Structure 1
């Protein structure tokens, strides 16, 4: 074990030992001696020369965010301080102090310098004193912190810095806390369903995992989730994929396209970055009670505030307890979760946030499928009801326990240098039993009665341990007329999973029969397996500004070590290891016109190691081996528009994306090769705007043209070159509108359209399109004397449309969510 200061990191392998040693050097920037030397080296760093600004009048939050970015200063503030306030704008040459004074004129706020080039926003109290309220870094605040309404102006997901969305040369969508609340999201997948380019229900109404398929890349759609800037280190090749309750989140940023330069191994379609709620220095408490369809019951609470009079410590504790049935018979959902966090101000320029997530899911809902015959189209004139359960109640179990410990450490050395270190440790256990169907016995296997479903059993015991650390140094400086924001980083992640699988066969069941016979079973042990992954990445990114030009240049080198070992296996004990290196790059160019238009072009790459083995039959036994990493590359062009003085944002993006090295096998071979390729071309349109002061609108449209562009042999042994992958629609659209009346009443309504898709890679069966309608109604009872009390009613699939959301083969199709009604009582105090 190697120690640096108070931080300890275990070194696991000789391959990455030298690089990890360099990673541990980053916290040295936080030591007082180093800081003092750095500041002494720049004696004039506190005196900023005047700079020219042209910031239009508009919302104060927008003006301050833009000023902090252009001035290169650290501005800390409570987002609530600026809510509803406007700024007169800024034109001309000013120092940082002068510019802030002009922007804040008439707002009742002042900016106080910390002596190190940073500023804190303060409110004028009634007695004339200045009050320090909840602190959030403005240069990162609108990119990571809380915000009012649906409009986010900044995001850190594409650059790991606070970058205005208008100046980001890649497509980014943001789901705010207000949007999650108003739309009644019960999972992350539901929270992002109004986002363009995204399919969040490839497995229907299940809530066990958060599946998010981006830009037509549906494979591994649960392996693209990130939490507080770090990959959520579940194992998508097992059942140990983790889930975070949306109640614990402040915002969700969706980055479209490859992202390996900053994040290492990732899917080429994009990623979903979740940001948790953080401690605040203003006391805020909330309790929620919810009840709804299928006996849904939930208690949630969220309390936060300062500790002590000096306001150097703040805490937050959020919790969820849930119990519900399901639209499928004999299925339950239960969750008990706590997320405590603590924020420590370690001086004027250093902050440490500690957090944990303790979650237990005794029951995790339904995760099964039914044949296309009987769901997509009738089977012998009949359809299977949405409520039919093909499994067995005494063999249906999915128990998941997950724990997360982590921290985010930030330090501003001076005007030029800042350092960040993010760390997470994950531990999870999963115990599951499931009986599932796999087609009609008479049609597919030649025995049984018409309508009988063949059934099998699988059971699993899994344990997952993972940790990841990301060290970042950020430099802000000028070279001549070029302004630089340079980010250099070194990250490391390690994951190990131990699994034990049982298999079996189960007597058939007939979904069309009036009664269900007692099931009989035959069990066997499949194998025990140990799976591991280790990745070390070194990356550099430079964001350059030259007048109205914005350039983004990034490069990364990764070292990856993956392996598995099977024992007690039906296929014979086997093991395989692979050591891989990969260089990825990204480049983007954007021009920000003064009228709010920003055209851009970009190119990005990705890679994703295969940690799941391929089973290759050699004539008498199975040979199990790891495949090469899948790779991705994308070219994108777009246009963004933000009217001057407003937070509205309109985005158009056009892209071509390729994913290569898909596992496939030729019709003449019995083993897999990394030869397949998917090409995805598309257009995405998104608008987030406020046509009226009390109205918000979200609108989007997606066109996708996705095909297997090289030979790809699917389960049926057919070469699918030229076909469209399953669960991909050519047309998608969404619209949500929300209006707040003066008397405390709020109404919202939305529609989601998903076009025709294919049930299988062979394109033998097309699924019908569907349109779903949602609505919300809420009332703030403060208007009738009940301060802090509010009621909300959410209705999803208002017309109770019966539809199949997607299939992954003709044997596995998934009904979408039926009409769901949920009422929520909340009390803020």
Structure 2
């Protein structure tokens, strides 16, 4: 029998003013956390009361009691204002049995939701794996989430640094910021921004500065069933900042290594009194030197956003972004002789060696995007959404690239390379979600139709460049314009139709997903005059089962698949088939009751088939026989142990093998994939005493040894890097400085010299020690 909520003593606690709430249907405990933050009240409740209970949410301008009535509707729970800022939530049956405390309130376990308290490093939700509000505990696939609180403490300068402490992810830790490469479970993965794919060319790869992010989500394993063509390794989703219901104002000034100068701001809040119009404006400007001499990086980025809520069930958020990198990165790869092994003179290159030309080298990147997120809730069952983004990008790039080191040990042979690219992309995702019951089964069904389009123009030149005498370098030599290497245009579109249903019975949760994709690729080679058209289609699916124990322990098993079109033709002239992936995964997730933590452990077997390799014959022939297997185990744990201490730790083991190939590499490991990686970060903030307001963080990252190429003839040594952070609330010094903070972040604390990664083109040194000081002010 359901009990109506009873706002006892609400008359003394209620305020006549209303606050705009935007709490979507979700697990009750998460809805209560959101209510606490918006309403500014402290909640006391037993976590067992909320376990397995869903809330229909609360939307629109509401009083506190109206919001609580909606959030608790149908739960059978009651609430009681013990004072104007404290609410106790209980079960009427507990009160009826006389289980009360001395003050008359229902006796509860010490579970407290404190208004205004940050989530810390722990995230229990994230829709990257389901495109819905299914909690991570019920998601039968590994997901890593980096929260805004963790980003604020560690202050990463790139997305690569933002995920450096996540399990099972390998990314270069180098000064080369032209591209962001992410390997998950041994495979390169695509980036998404707010759930829509950041489509790319060769150098026209969209960028997002970490300051503009609210969180980073990594779904590990095949994800084609919801996102279409992609890597079997998974996807990386960047969640951008959006308008907030509460006023937010922040400015930052940053300086540090390599004469860095950066200013940033973030403003947000309601525009009108009833909270139906919200805004956010985030911006950043930066200029800095780099680890490599004669190279600088510059960036200007601004992102305006507006949210319109015309009625209780409707919300539209318009998102814009403009990024301009006048100096967007540089080539820092050096020959293997002089980095991984000594030169013929027994020497090594310095880590700051510049090998280009001051007048020739440049990389200019510019991108603009506009889009929106629309949501309308018809009733307690149906909700529809449409997300759209158009993005334009242009890149102008030129480099003198080291090709080889001459036998004399000091003459560096170089190649001249230029690229001009233009990229236009469009992504649309339409969703309809239904929450309903059929007998004893509870359903969360999702139906979707999405579309992606890419129009990419590429013009490159490549040829011999002037050599560089390292004994007497001349960085202003004339460079002959190299011959045209490629002139092409490619248009690619994808249409996907997908459906998903989570069926819950008692403590079982079954997730079933299926999708059909149709892709079309048109390529024009302007050098040969040839045009090719290729159409592909694929069906992908996922099935996963989770059992939810009362203590927060949730074992699961799942199977998922992926596909990616392969452009080109085989020896017979027939088009290549799509590359496919499949994964078996078993594991468990643990979210202890009454303890703010989340633990994930998994075992997986992941395979990619039909990738193209080249034969060792003359002439060389491309064949689609490649197969790679990645088997592994990984564990990650994140905990806000107390209000003072946050900890995140991870370990991953990867057994990677090339099973089939026509280039003689069968039986080998894929290059740049370590078998062992581990990380640990601990952050402590003093809450009282003489050090009140002081925060200290220390972290360590271990990357195991790995091969330089798929031939497995040489290895990159393993390395361990330590990082540190210090932050201080200057308001603890004096009330006049309330809202002001100071932070000091150090990467590679002990200035470890190491090799980040290697390819057949050479090796890249890892980032040396960098120190950044940040002065911030919030009001």
* Superposition TM-score tier, normalisation by shorter sequence: 0.7 to 0.9
Task: Name the SS of the counterpart of 2:291 in structure 1.
Answer: coil
The answer for the alignment partner of 1:182 in structure 2 is 153
The answer for the alignment partner of 1:516 in structure 2 is 474
Residues 1:429 and 2:429 are matched in the alignment: no
From 199, 202, 206, the equivalent of 1:233 is 199
The answer for the alignment partner of 1:151 in structure 2 is 122
Q: CA deviation at 1:187?
A: 1.1
Residues 541 and 417 of structure 1: CA distance in aligned 2, closer, same or farther (over 3 Å): same
The answer for the alignment partner of 1:419 in structure 2 is 384
From 748, 751, 770, the equivalent of 2:719 is 770
- The answer to whether the 8 A contact 2:286-2:299 is kept is yes
Q: CA deviation at 1:112?
A: 4.7
Q: Deviations over 1:562-593 (max 9, x none)?
A: 121011x2xx3322110000000100011111
- Distance in 1 (CA, whole Å) between partners of 2:430 and 2:309 is 20
Residues 684 and 752 of structure 1: CA distance in aligned 2, closer, same or farther (over 3 Å): same
The answer for the alignment partner of 1:581 in structure 2 is 537
The answer for the alignment partner of 1:808 in structure 2 is 759
- Distance in 2 (CA, whole Å) between partners of 1:536 and 1:321 is 38
Task: Name the SS of the counterpart of 1:294 in structure 2.
Answer: helix
- Distance in 1 (CA, whole Å) between partners of 2:24 and 2:557 is 22
Q: CA deviation at 1:631?
A: 1.3
Q: What is the aligned-residue RMSD (CA, Å)?
A: 3.3
Matching of residues 491-570 of structure 1 within 5 Å: 491-511=450-470, 513-516=471-474, 519-522=477-480, 523-567=482-526, 569=527
- The answer to whether the 8 A contact 2:343-2:409 is kept is no
From 161, 171, 180, the equivalent of 1:210 is 180
- Distance in 2 (CA, whole Å) between partners of 1:566 and 1:663 is 21
The answer for the alignment partner of 2:17 in structure 1 is none
From 654, 661, 664, the equivalent of 2:613 is 664
- Distance in 2 (CA, whole Å) between partners of 1:826 and 1:88 is 37
Residues 1:161 and 2:132 are matched in the alignment: yes
- The answer to whether the 8 A contact 2:451-2:496 is kept is yes
Residues 1:732 and 2:697 are matched in the alignment: no
The answer for the alignment partner of 2:68 in structure 1 is 111
Residues 173 and 99 of structure 1: CA distance in aligned 2, closer, same or farther (over 3 Å): closer
The answer for the alignment partner of 2:13 in structure 1 is none
Task: Name the SS of the counterpart of 2:151 in structure 1.
Answer: helix
- Distance in 2 (CA, whole Å) between partners of 1:95 and 1:771 is 44
Residues 180 and 577 of structure 1: CA distance in aligned 2, closer, same or farther (over 3 Å): same
The answer for the alignment partner of 1:450 in structure 2 is 409
Matching of residues 372-771 of structure 1 within 5 Å: 372-380=336-344, 381-442=346-407, 449-511=408-470, 513-516=471-474, 519-522=477-480, 523-567=482-526, 569=527, 572-610=528-566, 627-668=576-617, 670-713=620-663, 719-742=664-687, 743-771=692-720
Q: Deviations over 1:369-408 (max 9, x none)?
A: 1112211121121000111112112111110110010100
Residues 1:306 and 2:274 are matched in the alignment: no
- The answer to whether the 8 A contact 2:309-2:315 is kept is yes
Q: CA deviation at 1:75?
A: 10
Residues 1:339 and 2:303 are matched in the alignment: yes
Task: Name the SS of the counterpart of 1:163 in structure 2.
Answer: coil
The answer for the alignment partner of 1:8 in structure 2 is none
Q: CA deviation at 1:81?
A: 4.7
Task: Name the SS of the counterpart of 2:323 in structure 1.
Answer: strand
- The answer to whether the 8 A contact 1:802-1:818 is kept is yes
Q: Deviations over 1:15-46 (max 9, x none)?
A: xxxxxxxxxxxxxxxxxxxxxxxxxxxxxxxx
Q: CA deviation at 1:91?
A: 4.0
- Distance in 2 (CA, whole Å) between partners of 1:538 and 1:146 is 40
- The answer to whether the 8 A contact 2:562-2:582 is kept is yes
Give the TM-score normalised by structure 1.
0.82
Task: Name the SS of the counterpart of 1:377 in structure 2.
Answer: coil
Residues 1:370 and 2:307 are matched in the alignment: no
- Distance in 2 (CA, whole Å) between partners of 1:364 and 1:514 is 28
- Distance in 2 (CA, whole Å) between partners of 1:247 and 1:782 is 23
Q: CA deviation at 1:682?
A: 0.5
Residues 49 and 414 of structure 1: CA distance in aligned 2, closer, same or farther (over 3 Å): farther
Structure 2: stretches of 5+ with no match in the other structure: 5-21, 59-63, 88-112
Q: Deviations over 1:736-769 (max 9, x none)?
A: 0000102100000000000000111101101100
Q: Deviations over 1:168-189 (max 9, x none)?
A: 1000010011111211201111
The answer for the alignment partner of 1:201 in structure 2 is 172
Q: Deviations over 1:45-86 (max 9, x none)?
A: xxx9679xxxxxxxxxxxx99994379999974745579754
The answer for the alignment partner of 1:360 in structure 2 is 324
- Distance in 1 (CA, whole Å) between partners of 2:535 and 2:675 is 38
- Distance in 2 (CA, whole Å) between partners of 1:94 and 1:663 is 47
Q: CA deviation at 1:343?
A: 0.4
- Distance in 1 (CA, whole Å) between partners of 2:488 and 2:81 is 62
- The answer to whether the 8 A contact 2:232-2:582 is kept is yes
Q: CA deviation at 1:115?
A: 13
- The answer to whether the 8 A contact 2:24-2:56 is kept is no
Residues 1:295 and 2:259 are matched in the alignment: yes
- Distance in 1 (CA, whole Å) between partners of 2:246 and 2:81 is 15
- Distance in 2 (CA, whole Å) between partners of 1:360 and 1:90 is 50
Residues 279 and 711 of structure 1: CA distance in aligned 2, closer, same or farther (over 3 Å): same
- Distance in 2 (CA, whole Å) between partners of 1:517 and 1:285 is 45
Residues 1:243 and 2:220 are matched in the alignment: no
Q: Deviations over 1:763-795 (max 9, x none)?
A: 110110000000000100111221100000000
- The answer to whether the 8 A contact 1:117-1:415 is kept is no
Residues 125 and 672 of structure 1: CA distance in aligned 2, closer, same or farther (over 3 Å): farther
Residues 416 and 146 of structure 1: CA distance in aligned 2, closer, same or farther (over 3 Å): farther
Residues 129 and 151 of structure 1: CA distance in aligned 2, closer, same or farther (over 3 Å): closer
Residues 339 and 583 of structure 1: CA distance in aligned 2, closer, same or farther (over 3 Å): same
Q: Which stretch shifts more, 731-740 or 459-468?
A: 459-468
Residues 772 and 109 of structure 1: CA distance in aligned 2, closer, same or farther (over 3 Å): farther
Residues 282 and 692 of structure 1: CA distance in aligned 2, closer, same or farther (over 3 Å): closer
- The answer to whether the 8 A contact 2:37-2:117 is kept is yes
Residues 124 and 360 of structure 1: CA distance in aligned 2, closer, same or farther (over 3 Å): farther
Q: Deviations over 1:418-452 (max 9, x none)?
A: 1111000001111111110122244xxxxxx4332
Provide the aligned length of Structure 1 versus Structure 2.
719
Task: Name the SS of the counterpart of 2:68 in structure 1.
Answer: strand
The answer for the alignment partner of 1:103 in structure 2 is none
